[in-house]
Amino acid sequence: MSDRITKASRHVTQNEGLIFEKSSPGKRAFDLPPLDVPAADPRKTLGRNHRSEGVSGFPEVSEIEVLRHFTRLSTWNYAIDLGMYPLGSCTMKYNPRVNEFVARLPGIATEHPLQPRGLSQGCLKILQLLEQCLLEITGMDAITLQPAAGAQGELTGLLLIRAYLEGQGNARKKVLVPDSAHGTNPATAVIAGYEVENIRSDSHGQVDVEKLRELVTEDVAALMITNPSTLGIFEQRISDIVAILHAKGALLYMDGANMNALAGVARPGDFGVDVMHLNLHKTFSTPHGGGGPGAGPVAMKKILEPFRPIPVLVEKAEGELALEQDRPHSIGRVKAFSGNFGVLVRALAYILAYGPDIRQATEDAVLNANYIRRHLAGVFELPYSLPSMHEVVFSDAIQKKNGVSTMDIAKRLIDYGFHPYTTAFPLIVPGALMIEPTESESKEECDLFIDAMRSIAEEAATNPELVKSAPHTTRINRLDEVTAARKPILRWKSGRI
């Protein structure tokens, strides 16, 4: 291990097999209180529907074994609680613990979504306040908290657009998607029943406005943009983009993944966005938990309001809140019950912690990204020179001369005690390094990151093999993904190691 690596070092973690490999018949980890009614006979009651043998292969272990098993597994993970994740457009910020506490309160975690409205006013007030806060932050007119994730928010947004255009007489056929877009954008457009037309970015990585002018016809329903773009750069000609679309009756959808550059500083509703989604698990601090849950609320201008998915939060006589389902123009339900409520609670707790000072978080996020950009420009190639906001995109062009790619650099970064940045996205930058520190990183952590990246760049020049065979300090090294895909093993079976 190089002595210039000071942030991370090797550590003894326990080995641990699959829980099924520890299983032994008769062990149990959980007891129920005794049955206080006569025992039913399942053979009589269920007949041939009776699963008389129990679940075959299910684990049988004790409580301490369960606790040790998962505790040991957890020590094999990197996490925000340990250090920076410079992942672009993921916004891996601190997950405040008070959010976890309030989501678990009796009277919050315990509520059934179908219980009477008179017993749910507390939950409904939480939804109402969150709606109001998110409308204030986005500058939009109406909102739905139903979608379970950003991708579902995108779908909801496109279905709102479709419903609105159908009401105007023609749902139209196409959605324009920049070649720099996140993969969920084109995937969602297809599910919404639209054809996708890709629009190439210009030489600055921005939407090519002249190309847009050509492409926007009355067959185009919408353009989906991310702003700032996935390069971390604000669309300078956003007002031209909006004018071109609106002139032909098309709408502007904004993927809100990069709201961490805007909250408190600028509002999408002000610069002409018609409908957008937010990622509460990005900008609003709800935890990633290894891949979810998230939430993808959709905020919109009032022309789209009648089409909102059900249920819709309304205020009735005397201030009583209710969730209404009788909405004749609604696009329908996008998910059962009522959104990922536990995630919504956490997002509201985050907003309450900041209040109007939420701008400070945005400023620190942009400050950190620019500080890193300043110190790594010249060390890594900067493909686009326009100012970065909360994230910066480099390329591996300089290191590629020695055969070292962005993936290799990312893997070597692990040895330095960081999670990799986003590699190979956006697609318009071959060999991209997409770096978003977020406001949660101290100057110290940013300096350590800069030092690590500079050190790796030097290694790429003087000792490229070290970088290409990284990581060197993890429990396992690069896994054979090819065999895993050719001969997939997707579950444990007894008898197989």
* Minimal distance, residue 155 CB to another protein, in Å: 6
- Interaction residues for another protein, span 370-399 (CB under 8 A): 370-371, 374-375, 386-387, 389
Handedness of CA 217, 222, 227, 233 (dihedral sign): negative
Instruction: Give the H or E element holding residue 68.
Output: helix 63-74
* Minimal distance, residue 158 CB to another protein, in Å: 9
In the numeric block, which tokens belong to residue 466? Answer: 């070290």
- Interaction residues for another protein, span 423-462 (CB under 8 A): 425, 430, 439-443, 445-446
For residue 143, give every residue at least 6 positions away whose Cβ sits within 8 Å of its Cβ, in sequence order, or none.
131, 134, 135, 297, 298, 299, 300
Determine contact, residues 205/223, Cβ cutoff 8 Å: no
User: How many chain residues touch another protein (CB under 8 A)?
Assistant: 204
Q: Considering only residues 267, 303, 398, 466, which one is a binding residue for another protein as defined by CB under 8 A?
A: 267
How far, in Å, are 166, 198, 207, 387, 496 from residue 236 at the CA level? 31, 20, 9, 11, 58
Phi, psi of 105 (to 5 degrees): -60, 135
- Interaction residues for another protein, span 183-222 (CB under 8 A): 183-184, 186-193, 196
Q: Among residues 35 and 462, whose Cβ is nearest to another protein?
A: 35
**Region near another protein per CB under 8 A, out of 214-222, 247-255, 344-352, 453-461:** 344-352
* By CB under 8 A, residue 264 contacts another protein: yes
Q: Among residues 15 and 462, whose Cβ is nearest to another protein?
A: 15
* Minimal distance, residue 366 CB to another protein, in Å: 5
For residue 235, give every residue at least 6 positions away whose Cβ sits within 8 Å of its Cβ, in sequence order, or none.
206, 207, 225, 227, 228, 229, 241
* By CB under 8 A, residue 28 contacts another protein: yes
Q: Considering only residues 276, 349, 392, 452, which one is a binding residue for another protein as defined by CB under 8 A?
A: 349
* By CB under 8 A, residue 464 contacts another protein: no
306 secondary structure, DSSP code: G
* Minimal distance, residue 420 CB to another protein, in Å: 5
* Minimal distance, residue 286 CB to another protein, in Å: 10
**Region near another protein per CB under 8 A, out of 210-218, 267-275, 299-307, 451-459:** 267-275
Q: Among residues 326 and 462, whose Cβ is nearest to another protein?
A: 326
How far, in Å, are 77, 229, 256 from residue 154 at the CA level? 30, 16, 10
Which candidate, 224, 223, 268, places its Cα nearest to that of 248?
A: 223
Is the bond into 293 cis (omega within 30 degrees of 0)? yes
**Alpha-helical runs (H) found in 104-218:** 121-138, 150-167, 184-191, 209-215
* Minimal distance, residue 410 CB to another protein, in Å: 8
Q: Among residues 234 and 380, whose Cβ is nearest to another protein?
A: 234
Burial label, 94 (beta-carbon count in 10 A; 0-12, 13-18, 19+): middle
* Minimal distance, residue 83 CB to another protein, in Å: 11
- Interaction residues for another protein, span 269-328 (CB under 8 A): 270-271, 279, 281, 287-294, 309-310
Give the whole-angstrom CA distance, residue 196 versus residue 174. Answer: 6
Give the whole-angstrom CA distance, residue 109 versus residue 464. Answer: 52
* Minimal distance, residue 174 CB to another protein, in Å: 12
Give the whole-angstrom CA distance, residue 229 versus residue 182. Answer: 10
Which position has the token pair 């990799």?
420
Q: Considering only residues 3, 11, 116, 495, which one is a binding residue for another protein as defined by CB under 8 A?
A: 116
Q: Taking CB under 8 A as the rule, which mask of x and - marks residues 30-69 in contact with another protein?
A: xxx--xxxxxx-x--xxxxxxx--xxxxxxxx-x--xx-x
* By CB under 8 A, residue 366 contacts another protein: yes
- The separation between the first and the last C-alpha atoms of the chain, rounded to the nearest angstrom, is 32
- Interaction residues for another protein, span 76-115 (CB under 8 A): 76-82, 85, 87, 90, 92-96, 98, 100-115
* Minimal distance, residue 178 CB to another protein, in Å: 12
Q: Among residues 82 and 462, whose Cβ is nearest to another protein?
A: 82
* By CB under 8 A, residue 129 contacts another protein: yes
Query: Would strands 142-144 and 298-300 be described as parallel, antiparallel, or unpaired?
Result: antiparallel
* By CB under 8 A, residue 159 contacts another protein: yes
